[in-house]
Amino acid sequence: MRIDVVTIFPEYLAPLELSLLGKAQRDGILQIRVHDLREVTTDRHRTVDDTPYGGGAGMVMKPEPWAAALARVCADGPTGQRPVLIIPGPGGERFTQQLARELAQEPWLAFACGRYEGIDERVYAHAADHLRVRTISLGDYVLNGGEVAVLAMVEAMGRLLPGVVGNAESLVEESHEDGLLEYPVYTKPASWTRDGVTREVPPVLLSGDHGAIARWRHAQRLERTAARRPDLLAPAAAVGALADLDAALATPADLPELVVLTRACWVPEAAASGTFDFPPFTDGVPELTASLSEWTTYVWRAAGRLVASIRVRRDPEDDRVWQLGRFMVAPDLQGRGIGQEILTFAESLAPRDVSTIWINTGRVSERNIRIYRKAGFRLAPWDSQVHPATVDLIKSPRSRADKG
C-alpha cells in the first residue's frame, strides 16, 4: 500500500518510521512518502495561509499550494492510478475500525493535513474533480492539525495489512471487530502484590479448560460492552422501526421473558409441523443461560416489554461462518420492518473475515423462509445438521456500500 502525506510539518510524521509500521516500510508492505506543502509555494515567505473572507479569527490555508501539492503527488504515481484523498477534519465521517478495514483495501491513499482554521473549501471541490475524496474525523474534538489524525489512521490501517502484525489471529478478537469490546487480558505473575494488596488472575484462565476460558472471555466482552459502551449496542441504522425500541445485550435477568417470547414466536412453526418437540419449545432457562455464554444475544424492549431478539456468533466449527439464531419479533409487532432492521444489524456485526452468514429455520416455516430470501439469503444445498425438520439459509456478507 502506498501512502502520501502532505503537511507543513513533515517531521510530525517521523513516528511512522518506528515499530511495526517502520518494519512494514522496510519490508516493502507499506510505502509512505511525506511531502512539505511549503515546497510548492512560489513566494519568498513560502506562504500557505491567509486571512478568512468574511472576517473572524485565525487563518485559512490557501487553495493554490494545495492544488499544486496534490497535482505533484498524483503525477508521481503509476500511470492511470489515482489515490483516494483523505482530508482529516473534525467535521468528517467518524474513523472506525470498520472504516480502517475498508481503507486498508485501497492500494493508494493521500492525506492532506490541514492547520489553522482549515483548508479553503474550494480545494475540496477541486480535488473531487480528479479524485475520490473523504473527509474523516478522528473523534468529536478539535486538534491543532491533521497530522495526529494521520498517525492514528495510518497505524490502525497499517496493522491490518497482511504481514504487518506477526500473529494475524490477534486481530480477530480485538475490540470493535464484531461489535464488542475485548475481554480483559493478564500475564505473569498469577498473583501480584503491590501496596499491600494482592491481585489474582481469574482462576479460569489458569484452568487449562479452553471451553471454559472461551465462555468466560465471551461473558467478559458482553459485560464490558454493556457497561462501558452501551452505544455500540444501538444499531447504527436505528432510524426506522428500531429507533423506538431500547436495545441491550441479553443478561440472565432477561431469560424468563425470552422463554415466553420464544414460545410465542415459534407457535406458527409448531402448528405447521405438528410438533412442539424442538428446541425453541423444549429449551428452558438452563439451556438459555448456557446459550448466553455461547452466543451474543441482543434484546429489544418497547416500553419495558421484551419484544424482539436475535443471537449471533462465529460458528464454533468454522470461524468463516457468522451464525444468526433465535431471530424473533413479538407476533403483535410483526410486519412493521423491525425484523428486517434486526437482520441488517446482526449481519453488520459479522467480522470482516467471515465469508458466509448463516441462519436456520423450520422446513415448513414458509413465512420465515420468505423473509430470509427477501434479505438476500438462499437455501443451502445441504441437509441441515441442526435438525432434519429444518433448513439452512446462507448469504454472503453485505459489502459496506450495501449497508448504506
Output the smallest distance, CB 153 to ligand SAM, in A.
9
CB 234 within 8 A of CB 300: no
Question: What's the min distance (Å) between Cβ of 206 and ligand SAM?
Answer: 42
Segment contacting ligand SAM by CB under 6 A, of 24-32, 145-153, 213-221, 238-246: 145-153
Answer yes or no whether residue 115 interacts with ligand SAM by CB under 6 A: yes
CA 5 to the chain's CA centroid? 25
Element (H, E) at 256: helix 255-273
How far apart CA 51 and CA 61 sit, in angstroms, is 9
Query: How many whole angstroms separate alpha carbon 59 and alpha carbon 71?
Result: 23
Which CB atom, from 85 or from 149, has the smaller least distance to ligand SAM? 149
Helix (H, G, I), strand (E, B) or coil at 83: coil
Sole binder of ligand SAM in the list 113, 205, 343, 357 (CB under 6 A): 113
By CB under 6 A, is residue 339 in contact with ligand SAM? Answer: no
Judged by CB, which is closer to ligand SAM: 9, or 108? 9
Among 22, 145, 202, 268, binds ligand SAM (CB under 6 A): 145
Coil, helix or strand at residue 300: strand
Is the CB of 124 or the CB of 372 nearer to ligand SAM? 124
Shortest Cβ 29–ligand SAM spacing (Å): 25
Query: Under rule CB under 6 A, how many of the chain's residues touch ligand SAM?
Result: 19
Q: Which amino acid type is present at position 46?
A: R
End-to-end CA distance of the chain: 26
Query: Rounded distance, CA 351 to CA 32, Å?
Result: 28
Q: Which residue's beta carbon is nearest to the bound ligand SAM? A: 114
Residues β-bridged to residue 193: 198
Our finding on whether 137 is near ligand SAM (CB under 6 A) is yes
- Check binding of 118 to ligand SAM (CB under 6 A): yes
Q: Which is nearer to ligand SAM, 56 or 80 (CB)?
A: 56
Closest-CA residue to 22 (of 10, 12, 31, 9): 31
8-state DSSP, 195:
T
The least distance separating ligand SAM from the CB of residue 64, rounded to whole angstroms, comes to 17
Whichever of 143 and 270 has its CB closer to ligand SAM, that residue is 143
Report the alpha-carbon distance of residue 262 to residue 260 in Å, rounded. 5
Q: Locate 172 and state its grid cell.
A: 480477530
Q: Which regions of 218-339 does DSSP assign to beta strands (E)?
A: 246-249, 296-302, 305-315, 318-329
Rule CB under 6 A: is residue 117 a binding residue for ligand SAM?
yes
Find the shortest distance in angstroms from Cβ 160 to ligand SAM: 20
Nearer to ligand SAM, 111 or 216 (CB): 111
| DSSP code per residue over 108-128 | EEEEE---TT-B-HHHHHHHH
Closer to ligand SAM at the Cβ: 137 or 340?
A: 137
Residues that bind ligand SAM (CB under 6 A): 88-91, 113-115, 117-118, 137-139, 141-146, 149
